[in-house]
Amino acid sequence: MNIGIDVGRYKVKVWHATGNFEFYSNLGEARELEFGDSKGSDDMYGSYEGRKFTAGTLAIREAEYGESMMTESKLHEDTVILNLIALHKAVSGTGRVKMVTNLPIDCHERDKAALRSMLLGMKKLTLNGDIKVFLIDDCRVAPEGIGFYKHAKPGKTIRGLNIGSRTVNAITFRDEEKIGRESDTFDFGTESGKSKDRFEMARAIAGKTGSLKWKKDDEVLLGGGGAAEIVEHLKQFYPLARVVENSVFLDAEALYRTAVEIYGR
C-alpha cells in the first residue's frame, strides 16, 4: 500500500488510494475509560512499545497532558506514533507499506535520514483495542510545501505559503524547480504563540518573504489549515494571494502522488 502522511502539529492529514482523512495531533497519558466515553473515529487510546496513550479528541477532552508537540524538531516518538495511527486507520488488517511523509523546509535536509530510520521496519500498534502490525518497506521524507509543485509551470515563478499551526513554510518554484535561496521556514504559526492577531501574522509573513526577494506582484498561493484565516490580510502585501483548492490536504495528496510515482500503484 502507498500512502502520504502529513503530520502537522495541529492535525495529521492522510491521503491514500481509496480516500483521505484527518485527525488531531494531540497525544496524552493513558486513562481508564469511563461509562459513556465515546469511541468515535477521533477518540483514540492505544499503546506502542510499552507506552500507553490517549490520542485525538479523547486526549484533548480527558488527558491532563493531552498536548500536540510544538517542538522545533519532529525527531521524537510522538511523530512515530502519529504516523502509525494514520496507517492503523487507513490500512485494513496488517500489511506492507510504502509511505511518504514530510518535514519543515529548514530542517528537511538535516533530519530526513533520521526520521526515515525511525519509521522503517516492523511496527506494532494497538489502537482502540485493535492490534495491527505493519512492515514499512520504504519511507521517503519530502519538504513541507511539496503540494505547491503541481502549480509550477515552465517560465513561471510560483510562491507558496503553507500556513501551519507551528510554522509557516515559504517555498518558491521557478521553471518547475525549487529555489532554495527564496524558500524558508518561519518560526511561528496559527497556534504556536500567544497572539492570535492574524493581520500581524500576515505582516510578519510579508516581512520575512520580502527578505527572500518576493515581490508585491508575485502570484502567492496559500495552503495548510491556517490559509483561510490569513489570506485577506496578506492581500494588503501580495494582492494576487489566493487559497488553493483543497488547501488542508494540499501536502497529503502530493505526498501520496509522490509515493505512486516512486513505487508504482
pLDDT for the residue numbered 38: 60
Q: Are 80 and 69 in contact (CB under 8 A)?
A: no
pLDDT for the residue numbered 231: 97
Cell match 516492523: residue? 122
pLDDT for the residue numbered 40: 67
- What pLDDT, in 10s, does the model give residues 26-68? 999 998 776 556 666 789 999 999 999 999 999 999 999 999 9
pLDDT for the residue numbered 250: 94
DSSP per residue, 15-44: EETTEEEEEE--EEE--PPPTT----TTEE
pLDDT for the residue numbered 264: 86
Q: How far apart are the first and last CA of the chain?
A: 8
* Positions in the chain whose pLDDT score sits under 50: none
pLDDT for the residue numbered 95: 79
Three-state DSSP state, 225: coil
pLDDT for the residue numbered 118: 97
- pTM for the complete prediction? 0.90
| Neighbour-count burial for 203-212, b at 16+ CB within 10 Å, e otherwise | eebbebbeee
